[in-house]
């Protein structure tokens, strides 16, 4: 559990917040922004090295190790000067391989743990690339932080969770600890509990939550910070589920249900293969008669009828829509390939 204010605003604020969290006994790492990358200048941008001194004092008094965000080599070197326990790379830095490489070079020869937040936009390769740069620099204590993604679509969340990206990272890097930052996903304190629980249900390794002694007076991200009391209440309500069980009856029933899923998936794959065979014939038929690949009326008809059929069976509309779109994309690609075969044969003649 990682907790602490968005920004280190004063020594009194840091010490008071940390003392309250330390009393609860459920925080493993204290977080605070020392350098605050802001969209526009003129707002609170952190207290830099002075704040590192406050955090060092806090650690000496409470025993809580601390973590700060670093955005360049100078930040990293100053953080190391004050024996910062863990460094984290922010979303705006992860998006820039040059900045990541610069920090990685500055950390060579150290064993400081580094947590890498996902890039602002949903780019899994960019996220993995940042982790790889630190790994190649000899940093072995690595972790990732899922803090949501900017999509340009306005919803209740500040950043869209897009859980599939965090799951994909865990799948690709099985030994990598992946934490969730509900504060930055939500942007509102009233949504944090549900997102935190979802993260735990998806087997995330921990949470990073912003906690301020008095959020109303916070100099940055006031709306998404909890008081220490609310933070304690939140943790008391969260359910941490087991990854496995020794209950043989449960395991047998689960395996039985999984076998059913395996059989259904096999049927789906065979049906998809058959569908692609038909799509291939449709592409050839269109090619022979000089017909365009995209038939808009037909596509709209498919989308409407399949979604309606799915809803009548209790399926989620979004699921059926996404499935139709994926199948249509594959169909267009297949028919395009068939059309290109015709062009290639004409060139050969």
* Model pLDDT for residues 81-96, shown as the tens digit of each residue: 999 999 999 999 999 9
Second-level CATH architecture of 248-348: Up-down Bundle (1.20)
**What is residue 155's predicted lDDT score, i.e. its pLDDT?**
93
The percentage of the chain sitting over the pLDDT mark of 70, rounded to a whole number, equals 98
Give the residue extent of every domain in the chain: 2-237, 248-348
Nearest residue to 149 (alpha-carbon basis) of 135, 139, 159: 159
Q: By three-state DSSP, how is residue 224 classified?
A: helix
**What is residue 348's predicted lDDT score, i.e. its pLDDT?**
52
**What is residue 340's predicted lDDT score, i.e. its pLDDT?**
87
Q: By three-state DSSP, how is residue 94 classified?
A: helix
- Please determine, for residue 243, whether its predicted confidence score (pLDDT) is greater than 60: yes
2-237 and 248-348, same CATH topology: no
* Model pLDDT for residues 285-298, shown as the tens digit of each residue: 999 999 999 999 99
Instruction: Please tell me the distance from the alpha carbon of residue 114 to that of residue 131, in angstroms, as a whole number.
Output: 9
Instruction: Please tell me the distance from the alpha carbon of residue 25 to that of residue 5, in angstroms, as a whole number.
Output: 17
Least-confidence region, from 116-130, 220-234, 327-341: 327-341
- Please determine, for residue 345, whether its predicted confidence score (pLDDT) is greater than 60: no
Mean pLDDT computed over 228-249: 92
- Please determine, for residue 70, whether its predicted confidence score (pLDDT) is greater than 90: yes
Query: Please, what is the average pLDDT of the chain?
Result: 94
Per-residue confidence band for 343, with pLDDT thresholds at 50, 70 and 90: low
* Model pLDDT for residues 7-55, shown as the tens digit of each residue: 999 999 999 999 999 999 999 999 999 998 777 787 888 899 999 999 9
**What is residue 81's predicted lDDT score, i.e. its pLDDT?**
97
**What is residue 38's predicted lDDT score, i.e. its pLDDT?**
72
- Please determine, for residue 199, whether its predicted confidence score (pLDDT) is greater than 70: yes
- Please determine, for residue 142, whether its predicted confidence score (pLDDT) is greater than 80: yes
CATH entry, 2-237, from 3.40.50.300, 3.20.20.70, 3.40.50.2000, 3.40.190.10: 3.20.20.70
Mean pLDDT computed over 92-105: 97
Instruction: Please tell me the distance from the alpha carbon of residue 54 to that of residue 89, in angstroms, as a whole number.
Output: 21
Instruction: Please tell me the distance from the alpha carbon of residue 268 to that of residue 222, in angstroms, as a whole number.
Output: 48
Sequence-distant (≥ 6) Cβ neighbours of residue 189 within 8 angstroms: 215, 223, 224, 225, 226, 230
Radius of gyration of the chain (CA): 25
pTM of the model: 0.83
Mean pLDDT computed over 121-125: 96
């Amino acid at each position: 559990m990682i907790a602490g204010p968005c920004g280190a605003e004063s020594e009194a604020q840091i010490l008071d917040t940390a003392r309250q969290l330390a009393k609860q006994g459920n925080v493993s790492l204290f977080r605070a922004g020392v350098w605050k990358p802001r969209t526009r200048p003129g707002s609170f941008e952190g207290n830099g090295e002075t704040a590192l001194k406050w955090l060092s004092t806090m650690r000496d008094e409470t025993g809580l190790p601390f973590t700060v965000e670093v955005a360049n080599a100078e930040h990293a070197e100053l953080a190391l000067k004050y024996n910062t326990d863990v460094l984290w790379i922010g979303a705006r830095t992860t998006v820039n391989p040059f900045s990541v490489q610069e920090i990685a070079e500055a950390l060579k020869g150290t064993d400081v743990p580094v947590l890498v937040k996902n890039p602002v936009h949903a780019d899994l390769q960019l996220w993995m690339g940042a982790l790889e740069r630190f790994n190649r620099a000899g940093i072995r204590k690595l972790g990732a932080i899922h803090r949501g993604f900017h999509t340009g679509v306005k919803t209740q969340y500040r950043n869209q969770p897009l859980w599939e990206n965090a799951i994909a990272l865990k799948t690709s890097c099985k030994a990598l600890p992946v934490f969730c930052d509900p504060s930055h996903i939500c942007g509102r304190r009233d949504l944090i509990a549900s997102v935190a629980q979802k993260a735990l249900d998806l087997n995330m390794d921990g949470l990073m939550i912003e906690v301020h002694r008095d959020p109303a007076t916070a100099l940055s991200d006031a709306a998404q910070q909890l008081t220490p009391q609310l933070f304690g209440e939140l943790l008391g309500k969260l359910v941490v589920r087991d990854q496995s069980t020794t209950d043989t009856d449960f395991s047998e029933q689960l395996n039985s249900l999984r076998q059913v899923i395996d059989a259904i998936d096999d049927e789906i794959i065979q049906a998809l293969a058959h569908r692609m065979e038909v799509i291939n014939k449709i592409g050839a038929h269109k090619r022979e008669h000089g017909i365009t690949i995209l038939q808009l009326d037909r596509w709209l008809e498919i989308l409407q009828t399949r979604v309606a059929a799915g809803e009548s069976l209790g399926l989620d509309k979004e699921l059926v829509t996404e499935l139709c779109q994926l199948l249509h994309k594959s169909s267009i690609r297949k028919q395009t390939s068939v059309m290109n075969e015709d062009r290639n044969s004409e060139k050969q003649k």
